[in-house]
């Protein structure tokens, strides 16, 4: 998880080099996060939609918000498919347990890379070696709560709040560089609903994302994770970082 860091843009920047301070960790917040992580960990397969936005600086150093829509499917320990449509790009990932394929719809080219045998190991490997970002992947790591506790000085439960007409548990984590807020559904499934990352050391620029259209344990054919190059598409190569 430490290598992926909220896949998208991304959460959980490690607070290396900070002066050690007493942590304020709310046991209620930890309980909710542990429950959410356990529910996700018990899933055999899942499909959901993620609407996200992130702040970027334009050539004049003005903050511009970019938007992305992602459809994400996990199946078992070794299958993943993601389609991301952004402000200026359209791309997809296919992982079948042995290879990761990345396709750029705008340029009609693709990359095929050998990959580790599990989805989470593949995500770490592709992020570390090629800087690929996988939206919301951190929520699927068993150590999600432990990493939050390690990397943040305080984690607080802010009570129940309504987000998008759904009652949620509101949790906030802070360190010197980041403010992270997570809304977790109070329904029995205890799934993540929304999160915001505020970069304190970058003029409070933000990344935020909303989960929707959860399908839990659907039957997903393996063919969904097999990449077939479109006609006239080009195989290209990329270098490791």
Q: Please give the sequence-ordered ranges of beta strands (E in DSSP) within the chain, or none if there are none.
A: 24-25, 45-57, 63-75, 79-86, 90-95, 99-104, 109-114, 154-163, 166-174, 178-185, 192-199, 205-216, 234-235
The per-residue pLDDT for range 36-90, each reduced to its tens digit, is: 999 999 999 999 999 999 999 999 989 999 999 999 999 999 999 999 999 889 9
pLDDT at residue 6, as a whole number: 46
- Asked if pLDDT for residue 185 goes beyond 90, the answer is yes
- Asked if pLDDT for residue 180 goes beyond 60, the answer is yes
- Asked if pLDDT for residue 1 goes beyond 70, the answer is no
Name the CATH superfamily for 24-226.
Answer: Lipoprotein localisation LolA/LolB/LppX (2.50.20.10)
Q: Are strands 192-199 and 24-25 parallel, antiparallel or unpaired?
A: unpaired
Q: pTM value? A: 0.89
């Amino acid at each position: 998880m430490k290598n992926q860091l909220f896949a998208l843009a991304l959460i959980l920047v490690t607070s290396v080099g900070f002066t050690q301070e007493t942590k304020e960790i709310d046991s209620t917040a930890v309980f909710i996060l542990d429950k959410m992580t356990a529910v996700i960990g018990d899933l055999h397969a899942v499909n959901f939609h993620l609407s996200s936005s992130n702040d970027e600086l334009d050539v004049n150093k003005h903050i511009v918000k970019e938007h992305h829509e992602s459809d994400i499917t996990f199946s078992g320990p070794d299958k993943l498919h993601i389609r991301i449509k952004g402000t200026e790009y359209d791309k997809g990932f296919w992982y079948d347990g042995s290879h990761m394929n990345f396709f750029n719809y705008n340029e009609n080219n693709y990359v095929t890379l050998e990959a580790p045998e599990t989805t989470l190991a593949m995500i770490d490997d592709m992020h570390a070696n090629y800087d690929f970002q996988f939206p919301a992947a951190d929520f699927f790591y068993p150590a999600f709560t432990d990493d939050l506790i390690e990397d943040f000085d305080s984690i607080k439960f802010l009570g129940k709040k309504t987000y998008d007409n759904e009652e949620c548990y509101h949790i906030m984590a802070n360190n010197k560089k980041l403010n992270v807020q997570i809304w977790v559904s109070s329904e029995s499934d205890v799934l993540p609903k929304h999160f915001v990352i505020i970069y304190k050391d970058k003029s409070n620029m933000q990344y935020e994302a909303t989960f929707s259209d959860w399908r839990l344990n659907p039957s997903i054919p393996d063919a969904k994770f097999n990449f077939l190059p479109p006609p006239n598409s080009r195989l290209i190569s990329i270098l490791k970082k």
